[in-house]
Amino acid sequence: MAVIHYFGRFSDLAASGDMPLPAGVTDTATLIDWLSSENARFAEEMARPGAAVVVNQEIVRGVQTLTDRDEIAFMSALSGG
């Protein structure tokens, strides 16, 4: 099971939790496509400035391969403290 977290605006769209990676999802790009097909607002949020993907606590630049052992987080622009 992968763990997926949603922070900020993404947390309005989905609840964080464990889930098996859907069939055909092998990397961050295909996961984003799958989540966007489930909810069109997901793609809108990914396009906003400051949106980021974090895998195993490291910010992803480009596309990263995923497995069911990964911790994945979708973050909207930081608010700061």
Taking the least distance from each CB to another protein, the nearer of 65 and 79 is 79
**Element of type H or E holding 36:** helix 28-38
Task: Name the nearest CA neighbour of 36 among 44, 28, 24.
Answer: 44
Taking the least distance from each CB to another protein, the nearer of 10 and 66 is 10
Local structure of 27: helix, strand or coil: strand
Whole-number minimum distance, CB 24 to another protein, in Å?
27
Taking the least distance from each CB to another protein, the nearer of 68 and 71 is 71
Site of interaction with another protein (CB under 8 A): 5, 7-9, 11, 50, 54, 57, 73, 75-81
